[in-house]
Homo-oligomer: A and B are copies of this chain.
Protein backbone atom coordinates (compact mmCIF):
# COMPACT_ATOMS: atom_id res chain seq x y z
CA UNK A 1 0.00 0.00 0.00
CA UNK A 2 1.38 3.43 -0.90
CA UNK A 3 1.43 6.13 1.76
CA UNK A 4 -1.43 8.04 0.14
CA UNK A 5 -3.51 4.86 0.03
CA UNK A 6 -2.81 4.27 3.68
CA UNK A 7 -3.85 7.82 4.46
CA UNK A 8 -7.07 7.34 2.51
CA UNK A 9 -7.82 4.14 4.33
CA UNK A 10 -7.24 5.77 7.73
CA UNK A 11 -9.35 8.86 7.03
CA UNK A 12 -12.09 6.65 5.57
CA UNK A 13 -12.37 4.82 8.87
CA UNK A 14 -12.40 8.07 10.84
CA UNK A 15 -15.09 9.41 8.53
CA UNK A 16 -17.21 6.26 8.85
CA UNK A 17 -17.05 6.46 12.64
CA UNK A 18 -18.17 10.10 12.49
CA UNK A 19 -21.03 9.30 10.12
CA UNK A 20 -22.13 6.39 12.29
CA UNK A 21 -22.18 8.79 15.22
CA UNK A 22 -24.28 11.24 13.18
CA UNK A 23 -26.78 8.48 12.42
CA UNK A 24 -27.04 7.53 16.10
CA UNK A 25 -27.63 11.19 16.99
CA UNK A 26 -30.28 11.57 14.27
CA UNK A 27 -31.97 8.38 15.42
CA UNK A 28 -31.97 9.59 19.03
CA UNK A 29 -33.80 12.76 18.02
CA UNK A 30 -36.26 11.30 15.54
CA UNK A 31 -36.80 7.55 16.00
CA UNK A 32 -35.47 6.20 19.29
CA UNK A 33 -37.90 4.84 21.89
CA UNK A 34 -37.77 7.18 24.90
CA UNK A 35 -36.22 4.59 27.22
CA UNK A 36 -33.19 4.20 24.95
CA UNK A 37 -31.55 7.44 26.14
CA UNK A 38 -28.97 6.27 28.71
CA UNK A 39 -27.55 3.49 26.50
CA UNK A 40 -27.47 5.85 23.53
CA UNK A 41 -25.39 8.37 25.46
CA UNK A 42 -22.77 5.65 26.06
CA UNK A 43 -22.82 4.55 22.44
CA UNK A 44 -22.32 8.12 21.23
CA UNK A 45 -19.47 8.67 23.69
CA UNK A 46 -17.76 5.47 22.55
CA UNK A 47 -17.96 6.40 18.88
CA UNK A 48 -16.57 9.87 19.66
CA UNK A 49 -13.74 8.39 21.71
CA UNK A 50 -12.78 5.74 19.17
CA UNK A 51 -12.90 8.33 16.39
CA UNK A 52 -10.77 10.77 18.36
CA UNK A 53 -8.24 8.05 19.19
CA UNK A 54 -7.78 7.32 15.50
CA UNK A 55 -7.70 10.98 14.50
CA UNK A 56 -5.01 11.78 17.04
CA UNK A 57 -2.89 8.64 16.46
CA UNK A 58 0.88 9.11 16.10
CA UNK A 59 0.87 7.15 12.84
CA UNK A 60 -1.58 9.53 11.19
CA UNK A 61 0.66 12.51 11.97
CA UNK A 62 3.74 10.68 10.67
CA UNK A 63 1.91 9.70 7.52
CA UNK A 64 0.88 13.30 6.82
CA UNK A 65 4.39 14.51 7.47
CA UNK A 66 5.88 11.94 5.12
CA UNK A 67 3.40 12.91 2.42
CA UNK A 68 3.80 16.67 2.77
CA UNK A 69 6.83 16.79 0.49
CA UNK A 70 5.30 14.40 -2.01
CA UNK A 71 2.20 16.55 -2.53
CA UNK A 72 4.12 19.83 -2.23
CA UNK A 73 4.33 20.29 -5.98
CA UNK A 74 0.62 19.69 -6.55
CA UNK A 75 -1.87 22.58 -6.78
CA UNK A 76 -3.19 23.61 -3.37
CA UNK A 77 -6.75 22.66 -4.29
CA UNK A 78 -5.83 19.27 -5.77
CA UNK A 79 -7.46 16.33 -4.03
CA UNK A 80 -4.23 14.88 -2.69
CA UNK A 81 -2.66 18.12 -1.48
CA UNK A 82 -5.91 19.13 0.20
CA UNK A 83 -6.33 15.71 1.78
CA UNK A 84 -2.87 15.78 3.35
CA UNK A 85 -3.17 19.41 4.47
CA UNK A 86 -6.65 19.18 5.97
CA UNK A 87 -5.97 15.84 7.65
CA UNK A 88 -2.81 17.23 9.21
CA UNK A 89 -4.69 20.31 10.37
CA UNK A 90 -7.36 18.16 12.06
CA UNK A 91 -4.73 15.87 13.53
CA UNK A 92 -2.90 18.85 15.05
CA UNK A 93 -6.10 20.25 16.55
CA UNK A 94 -6.98 16.84 17.97
CA UNK A 95 -3.52 16.55 19.56
CA UNK A 96 -3.49 20.03 21.08
CA UNK A 97 -6.27 19.40 23.59
CA UNK A 98 -5.49 17.02 26.47
CA UNK A 99 -7.87 14.09 26.86
CA UNK A 100 -8.78 15.20 30.41
CA UNK A 101 -9.81 18.67 29.28
CA UNK A 102 -11.86 17.16 26.48
CA UNK A 103 -13.59 14.79 28.91
CA UNK A 104 -14.21 17.52 31.48
CA UNK A 105 -15.70 19.74 28.80
CA UNK A 106 -18.06 16.95 27.68
CA UNK A 107 -19.18 16.30 31.28
CA UNK A 108 -19.52 19.95 32.24
CA UNK A 109 -21.51 20.98 29.16
CA UNK A 110 -23.78 17.97 29.58
CA UNK A 111 -24.58 19.08 33.14
CA UNK A 112 -24.80 22.74 32.08
CA UNK A 113 -27.29 21.94 29.32
CA UNK A 114 -29.59 20.25 31.80
CA UNK A 115 -29.18 23.15 34.24
CA UNK A 116 -29.96 25.55 31.38
CA UNK A 117 -33.24 23.81 30.61
CA UNK A 118 -34.34 24.22 34.23
CA UNK A 119 -33.03 27.78 34.55
CA UNK A 120 -34.84 28.75 31.36
CA UNK A 121 -38.09 27.24 32.64
CA UNK A 122 -37.75 29.28 35.82
CA UNK A 123 -36.28 32.29 34.01
CA UNK A 124 -33.50 32.24 36.59
CA UNK A 125 -30.10 33.32 35.26
CA UNK A 126 -28.57 33.24 38.76
CA UNK A 127 -29.19 29.48 38.92
CA UNK A 128 -27.44 29.01 35.59
CA UNK A 129 -24.52 31.36 36.32
CA UNK A 130 -22.24 28.89 38.17
CA UNK A 131 -22.58 26.43 35.28
CA UNK A 132 -21.83 29.11 32.73
CA UNK A 133 -18.77 30.10 34.73
CA UNK A 134 -17.44 26.56 34.62
CA UNK A 135 -18.11 26.28 30.90
CA UNK A 136 -16.40 29.60 30.13
CA UNK A 137 -13.47 28.63 32.31
CA UNK A 138 -13.05 25.39 30.36
CA UNK A 139 -13.30 27.29 27.08
CA UNK A 140 -10.54 29.62 28.30
CA UNK A 141 -8.38 26.59 29.04
CA UNK A 142 -9.20 25.31 25.56
CA UNK A 143 -8.12 28.62 24.06
CA UNK A 144 -4.80 28.38 25.93
CA UNK A 145 -4.12 25.04 24.22
CA UNK A 146 -3.71 27.07 21.02
CA UNK A 147 -1.43 29.81 22.37
CA UNK A 148 0.06 31.92 20.96
CA UNK A 149 -2.90 33.54 19.18
CA UNK A 150 -3.72 37.00 17.94
CA UNK A 151 -7.01 37.17 19.82
CA UNK A 152 -8.40 34.84 22.51
CA UNK A 153 -11.57 34.42 20.42
CA UNK A 154 -9.57 33.09 17.45
CA UNK A 155 -9.27 29.45 18.59
CA UNK A 156 -13.02 29.37 19.30
CA UNK A 157 -13.90 30.81 15.91
CA UNK A 158 -11.46 28.46 14.21
CA UNK A 159 -13.62 25.44 15.09
CA UNK A 160 -16.37 26.79 12.87
CA UNK A 161 -14.50 29.03 10.38
CA UNK A 162 -11.14 27.35 9.78
CA UNK A 163 -8.37 29.93 9.62
CA UNK A 164 -10.59 32.96 10.12
CA UNK A 165 -9.33 35.64 12.52
CA UNK A 166 -11.46 37.71 14.88
CA UNK A 167 -9.78 40.84 13.57
CA UNK A 168 -11.19 40.13 10.09
CA UNK A 169 -14.64 39.23 11.36
CA UNK A 170 -15.35 42.25 13.54
CA UNK A 171 -15.49 44.88 10.75
CA UNK A 172 -17.76 42.65 8.64
CA UNK A 173 -20.33 42.16 11.38
CA UNK A 174 -20.07 45.79 12.49
CA UNK A 175 -20.79 47.02 8.95
CA UNK A 176 -23.72 44.63 8.76
CA UNK A 177 -25.20 45.94 12.00
CA UNK A 178 -24.60 49.56 11.04
CA UNK A 179 -26.32 49.05 7.71
CA UNK A 180 -29.33 47.29 9.22
CA UNK A 181 -30.23 49.44 12.22
CA UNK A 182 -31.29 52.39 9.97
CA UNK A 183 -33.26 49.96 7.75
CA UNK A 184 -35.11 48.67 10.81
CA UNK A 185 -35.77 52.24 11.94
CA UNK A 186 -37.15 53.11 8.51
CA UNK A 187 -39.39 50.03 8.53
CA UNK A 188 -40.70 50.96 11.96
CA UNK A 189 -41.40 54.50 10.86
CA UNK A 190 -43.20 53.29 7.75
CA UNK A 191 -47.01 53.54 7.78
CA UNK A 192 -47.08 50.13 6.06
CA UNK A 193 -47.75 47.07 8.17
CA UNK A 194 -47.67 43.72 6.40
CA UNK A 195 -50.49 41.29 7.17
CA UNK A 196 -49.25 37.84 8.16
CA UNK A 197 -52.55 36.58 9.53
CA UNK A 198 -53.01 34.02 6.73
CA UNK A 199 -50.12 32.00 8.21
CA UNK A 200 -51.88 31.73 11.56
CA UNK A 201 -54.87 29.46 12.20
CA UNK A 202 -55.30 25.68 12.37
CA UNK A 203 -52.97 23.63 10.17
CA UNK A 204 -53.12 19.84 10.45
CA UNK A 205 -49.53 18.64 11.02
CA UNK A 206 -50.06 15.72 8.61
CA UNK A 207 -50.90 18.24 5.87
CA UNK A 208 -47.97 20.45 6.88
CA UNK A 209 -45.76 17.38 6.42
CA UNK A 210 -47.18 16.94 2.94
CA UNK A 211 -46.55 20.61 2.13
CA UNK A 212 -43.00 20.37 3.51
CA UNK A 213 -42.24 17.33 1.34
CA UNK A 214 -43.53 19.14 -1.72
CA UNK A 215 -41.37 22.17 -0.93
CA UNK A 216 -38.32 19.90 -0.66
CA UNK A 217 -39.26 18.16 -3.90
CA UNK A 218 -39.08 21.58 -5.57
CA UNK A 219 -35.45 21.93 -4.48
CA UNK A 220 -32.67 20.42 -6.64
CA UNK A 221 -32.02 17.51 -4.26
CA UNK A 222 -31.11 14.09 -5.65
CA UNK A 223 -34.15 11.82 -5.66
CA UNK A 224 -34.17 8.92 -3.15
CA UNK A 225 -31.24 10.51 -1.29
CA UNK A 226 -33.11 12.29 1.52
CA UNK A 227 -35.91 11.90 4.03
CA UNK A 228 -37.89 14.24 6.26
CA UNK A 229 -38.82 13.52 9.89
CA UNK A 230 -40.21 15.35 12.87
CA UNK A 231 -38.12 16.44 15.83
CA UNK A 232 -38.09 19.03 18.62
CA UNK A 233 -35.20 21.21 17.42
CA UNK A 234 -34.97 20.97 13.60
CA UNK A 235 -31.65 20.19 11.93
CA UNK A 236 -30.23 18.52 8.83
CA UNK A 237 -27.47 15.95 8.90
CA UNK A 238 -25.56 14.02 6.25
CA UNK A 239 -24.97 10.30 6.74
CA UNK A 240 -23.43 10.24 3.27
CA UNK A 241 -23.52 12.48 0.17
CA UNK A 242 -26.58 10.56 -0.96
CA UNK A 243 -28.11 9.91 2.47
CA UNK A 244 -29.44 13.13 3.96
CA UNK A 245 -31.72 13.48 6.94
CA UNK A 246 -33.82 16.64 7.14
CA UNK A 247 -35.94 17.28 10.22
CA UNK A 248 -38.61 19.78 11.15
CA UNK A 249 -41.35 20.46 13.66
CA UNK A 250 -44.92 21.50 13.12
CA UNK A 251 -46.77 24.24 14.96
CA UNK A 252 -50.46 23.43 14.47
CA UNK A 253 -51.26 27.14 14.85
CA UNK A 254 -48.66 28.61 12.49
CA UNK A 255 -47.76 27.13 9.11
CA UNK A 256 -44.81 29.54 8.74
CA UNK A 257 -42.86 27.66 11.41
CA UNK A 258 -42.40 24.58 9.25
CA UNK A 259 -42.59 25.72 5.62
CA UNK A 260 -39.57 28.02 5.57
CA UNK A 261 -37.71 26.05 8.23
CA UNK A 262 -37.87 23.00 5.98
CA UNK A 263 -36.53 24.98 3.03
CA UNK A 264 -33.77 26.25 5.36
CA UNK A 265 -32.75 22.70 6.34
CA UNK A 266 -33.13 21.67 2.71
CA UNK A 267 -30.45 24.26 1.89
CA UNK A 268 -28.04 22.58 4.29
CA UNK A 269 -28.89 19.21 2.73
CA UNK A 270 -28.34 20.55 -0.80
CA UNK A 271 -24.80 21.54 0.08
CA UNK A 272 -24.00 18.07 1.43
CA UNK A 273 -25.67 16.49 -1.57
CA UNK A 274 -23.49 18.52 -3.95
CA UNK A 275 -20.13 17.61 -2.45
CA UNK A 276 -17.82 15.97 -4.99
CA UNK A 277 -18.26 12.20 -4.90
CA UNK A 278 -14.46 11.73 -4.76
CA UNK A 279 -14.53 13.50 -1.37
CA UNK A 280 -16.72 10.85 0.30
CA UNK A 281 -15.04 9.22 3.31
CA UNK A 282 -12.42 11.98 3.65
CA UNK A 283 -12.21 15.06 5.91
CA UNK A 284 -12.80 17.14 2.73
CA UNK A 285 -16.36 15.86 2.54
CA UNK A 286 -17.90 18.86 4.28
CA UNK A 287 -18.78 22.49 3.64
CA UNK A 288 -16.03 25.12 3.65
CA UNK A 289 -17.19 26.41 7.03
CA UNK A 290 -20.33 26.92 9.06
CA UNK A 291 -20.69 30.35 7.48
CA UNK A 292 -20.67 28.88 3.98
CA UNK A 293 -23.06 26.16 5.10
CA UNK A 294 -25.42 28.71 6.60
CA UNK A 295 -25.21 30.77 3.41
CA UNK A 296 -27.05 27.96 1.68
CA UNK A 297 -29.75 27.44 4.30
CA UNK A 298 -30.34 31.20 4.45
CA UNK A 299 -30.25 31.65 0.67
CA UNK A 300 -32.80 28.90 0.07
CA UNK A 301 -34.99 29.97 2.96
CA UNK A 302 -34.97 33.73 2.45
CA UNK A 303 -33.63 34.80 -0.93
CA UNK A 304 -35.48 32.00 -2.71
CA UNK A 305 -38.16 30.70 -0.32
CA UNK A 306 -39.36 34.16 0.72
CA UNK A 307 -38.63 35.74 -2.66
CA UNK A 308 -41.53 36.77 -4.89
CA UNK A 309 -40.85 34.33 -7.78
CA UNK A 310 -40.69 31.17 -5.65
CA UNK A 311 -43.63 32.32 -3.51
CA UNK A 312 -45.59 32.58 -6.77
CA UNK A 313 -44.56 29.01 -7.56
CA UNK A 314 -45.39 27.56 -4.13
CA UNK A 315 -48.62 29.57 -3.69
CA UNK A 316 -50.90 27.17 -5.65
CA UNK A 317 -49.37 24.23 -3.76
CA UNK A 318 -50.03 25.92 -0.40
CA UNK A 319 -53.59 26.55 -1.53
CA UNK A 320 -54.03 22.97 -2.70
CA UNK A 321 -52.90 21.62 0.67
CA UNK A 322 -54.87 24.19 2.73
CA UNK A 323 -57.72 25.31 0.45
CA UNK A 324 -59.81 26.92 3.16
CA UNK A 325 -57.10 28.79 5.06
CA UNK A 326 -55.72 30.36 1.89
CA UNK A 327 -59.00 30.81 0.00
CA UNK A 328 -58.67 34.60 0.06
CA UNK A 329 -54.86 34.83 -0.08
CA UNK A 330 -53.28 35.54 -3.45
CA UNK A 331 -49.57 35.06 -4.22
CA UNK A 332 -48.74 38.67 -3.46
CA UNK A 333 -50.49 38.50 -0.08
CA UNK A 334 -48.55 35.31 0.74
CA UNK A 335 -45.33 37.08 -0.27
CA UNK A 336 -46.10 39.98 2.03
CA UNK A 337 -47.07 37.68 4.89
CA UNK A 338 -43.80 35.79 4.52
CA UNK A 339 -41.78 38.97 4.87
CA UNK A 340 -43.31 40.84 7.77
CA UNK A 341 -40.63 42.56 9.86
CA UNK A 342 -41.15 42.97 13.57
CA UNK A 343 -38.57 43.29 16.32
CA UNK A 344 -39.07 40.44 18.74
CA UNK A 345 -37.33 39.00 21.76
CA UNK A 346 -36.51 35.59 20.32
CA UNK A 347 -33.78 35.05 17.71
CA UNK A 348 -35.31 31.84 16.39
CA UNK A 349 -38.51 33.68 15.47
CA UNK A 350 -36.79 36.74 14.02
CA UNK A 351 -37.34 38.00 10.47
CA UNK A 352 -34.61 38.49 7.88
CA UNK A 353 -33.81 42.06 8.94
CA UNK A 354 -33.74 41.81 12.71
CA UNK A 355 -32.08 38.39 12.73
CA UNK A 356 -28.61 39.85 12.19
CA UNK A 357 -29.11 42.29 15.04
CA UNK A 358 -29.79 39.38 17.38
CA UNK A 359 -26.50 37.90 16.18
CA UNK A 360 -24.55 41.18 16.54
CA UNK A 361 -25.66 41.38 20.17
CA UNK A 362 -24.50 37.82 20.94
CA UNK A 363 -21.24 38.15 19.04
CA UNK A 364 -20.33 41.40 20.78
CA UNK A 365 -21.08 39.93 24.21
CA UNK A 366 -18.96 36.86 23.44
CA UNK A 367 -16.05 39.06 22.43
CA UNK A 368 -16.32 41.08 25.64
CA UNK A 369 -16.40 37.89 27.73
CA UNK A 370 -13.25 36.46 26.18
CA UNK A 371 -11.50 39.82 26.16
CA UNK A 372 -12.21 39.93 29.92
CA UNK A 373 -14.27 43.12 29.63
CA UNK A 374 -17.57 41.64 30.81
CA UNK A 375 -18.36 39.73 34.01
CA UNK A 376 -20.71 36.82 33.40
CA UNK A 377 -22.91 38.04 36.26
CA UNK A 378 -23.53 41.24 34.28
CA UNK A 379 -24.72 39.41 31.15
CA UNK A 380 -28.49 39.97 31.68
CA UNK A 381 -28.00 43.74 31.99
CA UNK A 382 -25.68 43.91 29.00
CA UNK A 383 -28.23 41.87 27.02
CA UNK A 384 -31.05 44.18 27.99
CA UNK A 385 -29.10 47.31 27.07
CA UNK A 386 -28.24 46.04 23.62
CA UNK A 387 -31.77 44.76 22.89
CA UNK A 388 -32.97 48.25 23.67
CA UNK A 389 -30.40 49.94 21.49
CA UNK A 390 -30.46 47.56 18.45
CA UNK A 391 -34.08 46.42 18.43
CA UNK A 392 -35.78 49.02 20.57
CA UNK A 393 -37.46 46.52 22.85
CA UNK A 394 -37.30 45.81 26.57
CA UNK A 395 -36.42 42.33 27.83
CA UNK A 396 -39.02 41.23 30.39
CA UNK A 397 -37.09 38.29 31.88
CA UNK A 398 -34.07 36.02 31.44
CA UNK A 399 -36.04 33.30 29.64
CA UNK A 400 -36.82 35.78 26.87
CA UNK A 401 -33.31 37.21 27.03
CA UNK A 402 -29.97 35.75 27.89
CA UNK A 403 -31.30 32.24 28.57
CA UNK A 404 -33.08 31.73 25.24
CA UNK A 405 -30.33 29.86 23.35
CA UNK A 406 -28.62 26.58 24.24
CA UNK A 407 -25.30 27.51 22.58
CA UNK A 408 -23.48 28.91 25.60
CA UNK A 409 -24.58 26.06 27.88
CA UNK A 410 -23.05 23.73 25.31
CA UNK A 411 -19.87 25.79 25.19
CA UNK A 412 -20.40 26.77 21.54
CA UNK A 413 -18.80 30.22 21.71
CA UNK A 414 -17.80 31.34 18.22
CA UNK A 415 -20.84 29.73 16.63
CA UNK A 416 -23.28 32.66 16.55
CA UNK A 417 -21.33 34.89 14.13
CA UNK A 418 -21.46 32.15 11.49
CA UNK A 419 -25.20 32.78 11.12
CA UNK A 420 -24.55 36.35 10.02
CA UNK A 421 -21.57 35.33 7.93
CA UNK A 422 -24.00 33.04 6.14
CA UNK A 423 -26.20 36.02 5.28
CA UNK A 424 -23.24 38.02 4.01
CA UNK A 425 -22.05 35.15 1.82
CA UNK A 426 -25.59 34.46 0.61
CA UNK A 427 -25.84 38.11 -0.49
CA UNK A 428 -22.69 37.80 -2.55
CA UNK A 429 -23.77 34.45 -4.04
CA UNK A 430 -27.12 35.95 -4.95
CA UNK A 431 -25.43 38.71 -6.95
CA UNK A 432 -23.38 36.04 -8.66
CA UNK A 433 -26.48 33.96 -9.43
CA UNK A 434 -28.25 36.99 -10.91
CA UNK A 435 -25.25 37.66 -13.15
CA UNK A 436 -24.93 34.09 -14.34
CA UNK A 437 -28.60 33.21 -14.65
CA UNK A 438 -30.41 36.08 -16.34
CA UNK A 439 -33.68 34.11 -16.23
CA UNK A 440 -33.39 33.24 -12.55
CA UNK A 441 -36.69 34.87 -11.52
CA UNK A 442 -38.61 33.22 -14.34
CA UNK A 443 -37.04 29.87 -13.52
CA UNK A 444 -37.91 30.10 -9.84
CA UNK A 445 -41.45 31.15 -10.63
CA UNK A 446 -41.77 27.93 -12.65
CA UNK A 447 -40.19 25.95 -9.79
CA UNK A 448 -37.11 25.30 -11.93
CA UNK A 449 -34.43 25.27 -9.26
CA UNK A 450 -31.98 22.98 -11.04
CA UNK A 451 -29.99 25.72 -12.89
CA UNK A 452 -29.38 27.53 -9.58
CA UNK A 453 -28.55 24.23 -7.89
CA UNK A 454 -26.10 23.39 -10.65
CA UNK A 455 -24.42 26.81 -10.35
CA UNK A 456 -24.00 26.43 -6.58
CA UNK A 457 -22.69 22.88 -6.99
CA UNK A 458 -20.17 24.05 -9.59
CA UNK A 459 -18.94 27.12 -7.71
CA UNK A 460 -19.22 26.03 -4.10
CA UNK A 461 -20.54 22.62 -3.09
CA UNK A 462 -18.39 20.25 -5.10
CA UNK A 463 -15.13 21.62 -3.68
CA UNK A 464 -16.10 20.58 -0.16
CA UNK A 465 -13.63 21.59 2.52
CA UNK A 466 -10.54 21.69 0.31
CA UNK A 467 -9.96 25.40 0.83
CA UNK A 468 -10.33 27.66 3.85
CA UNK A 469 -13.14 30.23 3.97
CA UNK A 470 -10.98 33.19 2.93
CA UNK A 471 -9.54 31.23 0.00
CA UNK A 472 -13.00 30.22 -1.14
CA UNK A 473 -14.25 33.79 -0.82
CA UNK A 474 -11.33 34.94 -2.94
CA UNK A 475 -11.95 32.22 -5.51
CA UNK A 476 -15.71 32.63 -5.80
CA UNK A 477 -15.99 36.42 -5.43
CA UNK A 478 -12.49 37.58 -6.41
CA UNK A 479 -11.89 39.33 -3.08
CA UNK A 480 -12.73 39.38 0.62
CA UNK A 481 -16.24 39.25 2.16
CA UNK A 482 -18.48 42.18 1.24
CA UNK A 483 -21.51 43.32 3.20
CA UNK A 484 -22.65 45.63 0.41
CA UNK A 485 -24.64 42.98 -1.52
CA UNK A 486 -26.73 41.73 1.40
CA UNK A 487 -27.40 45.27 2.62
CA UNK A 488 -28.35 46.48 -0.87
CA UNK A 489 -30.63 43.49 -1.41
CA UNK A 490 -32.37 43.91 1.96
CA UNK A 491 -32.81 47.67 1.47
CA UNK A 492 -34.27 47.03 -1.99
CA UNK A 493 -36.61 44.25 -0.91
CA UNK A 494 -37.88 45.90 2.24
CA UNK A 495 -37.75 49.35 0.73
CA UNK A 496 -40.34 48.21 -1.79
CA UNK A 497 -42.42 46.26 0.72
CA UNK A 498 -42.47 49.08 3.29
CA UNK A 499 -42.44 51.95 0.79
CA UNK A 500 -39.20 53.44 2.06
CA UNK A 501 -37.44 56.11 0.00
CA UNK A 502 -33.99 54.99 -1.24
CA UNK A 503 -31.12 56.09 1.00
CA UNK A 504 -28.61 58.55 -0.31
CA UNK A 505 -25.03 57.41 -0.70
CA UNK A 506 -25.78 53.70 -0.57
CA UNK A 507 -25.05 51.58 2.48
Chain A residues engaging chain B, CB cutoff 8 angstroms: 12-13, 16-17, 19-20, 23-24, 27, 31-36, 38-40, 42-43, 46-47, 49-50, 222-227, 239-244, 280-281
> How far in angstroms is the closest Cβ of chain B from A453?
16
Flag if A33 contacts B243 (CB, 8 Å). Answer: yes
Flag if B239 contacts A36 (CB, 8 Å). Answer: yes
Flag if A33 contacts B242 (CB, 8 Å). Answer: yes
Using Cβ atoms and an 8 Å threshold, which residues of chain B touch A16?
42-43, 46-47
With A24-B23, A27-B23 as known contacts, state yes or no: A224 contacts B43, CB within 8 Å: no
29 contacts between A and B (CB under 8 A): A12-B42, A12-B46, A13-B46, A13-B49, A13-B50, A16-B42, A17-B46, A17-B50, A20-B24, A23-B43, A33-B224, A33-B242, A33-B243, A33-B244, A34-B224, A34-B225, A35-B222, A35-B223, A35-B224, A35-B242, A35-B243, A36-B242, A36-B243, A39-B239, A39-B241, A39-B242, A39-B243, A39-B280, A40-B239
Residue of B nearest to A226 (CB): B33
Q: How far is the CA of A119 from the CA of B31 in the complex (A)?
A: 36
Using Cβ atoms and an 8 Å threshold, which residues of chain B touch A24?
20, 23
Using Cβ atoms and an 8 Å threshold, which residues of chain B touch A19?
39, 43
Q: How far is the CA of A42 from the CA of B226 in the complex (A)?
A: 19
Using Cβ atoms and an 8 Å threshold, which residues of chain B touch A13?
46, 49-50
Using Cβ atoms and an 8 Å threshold, which residues of chain B touch A243?
32-33, 35-36, 39-40
Using Cβ atoms and an 8 Å threshold, which residues of chain B touch A224?
33-35
> How far in angstroms is the closest Cβ of chain B from A276?
14
Q: How far is the CA of A247 from the CA of B19 in the complex (A)?
A: 24
Partner of A27, one of B27, B40, B50, B244: B27
Residue of B nearest to A36 (CB): B243
Using Cβ atoms and an 8 Å threshold, which residues of chain B touch A241?
39
Going nearest first, the 7 A-B pairs with the smallest beta carbon separation are A36-B243, A39-B240, A16-B46, A35-B242, A35-B225, A34-B224, A16-B43
> How far in angstroms is the closest Cβ of chain B from A196?
34
Further 11 A-B residue pairs, CB within 8 A, beyond A20-B46, A23-B27, A36-B243: A12-B42, A16-B46, A20-B20, A23-B23, A31-B31, A33-B242, A33-B243, A34-B225, A39-B240, A39-B242, A40-B240
Using Cβ atoms and an 8 Å threshold, which residues of chain B touch A239?
32, 36, 39-40, 43
Q: How far is the CA of A50 from the CA of B16 in the complex (A)?
A: 11
> How far in angstroms is the closest Cβ of chain B from A468?
26
Q: How far is the CA of A40 from the CA of B22 in the complex (A)?
A: 13
Residue of B nearest to A42 (CB): B16
> How far in angstroms is the closest Cβ of chain B from A477?
32
> How far in angstroms is the closest Cβ of chain B from A220?
15
Using Cβ atoms and an 8 Å threshold, which residues of chain B touch A244?
33
> How far in angstroms is the closest Cβ of chain B from A30?
9
Q: How far is the CA of A47 from the CA of B34 in the complex (A)?
A: 25
Q: How far is the CA of A242 from the CA of B240 in the complex (A)?
A: 28
Q: How far is the CA of A19 from the CA of B42 in the complex (A)?
A: 11
> How far in angstroms is the closest Cβ of chain B from A295?
25
Q: How far is the CA of A39 from the CA of B22 in the complex (A)?
A: 14
> How far in angstroms is the closest Cβ of chain B from A237?
12
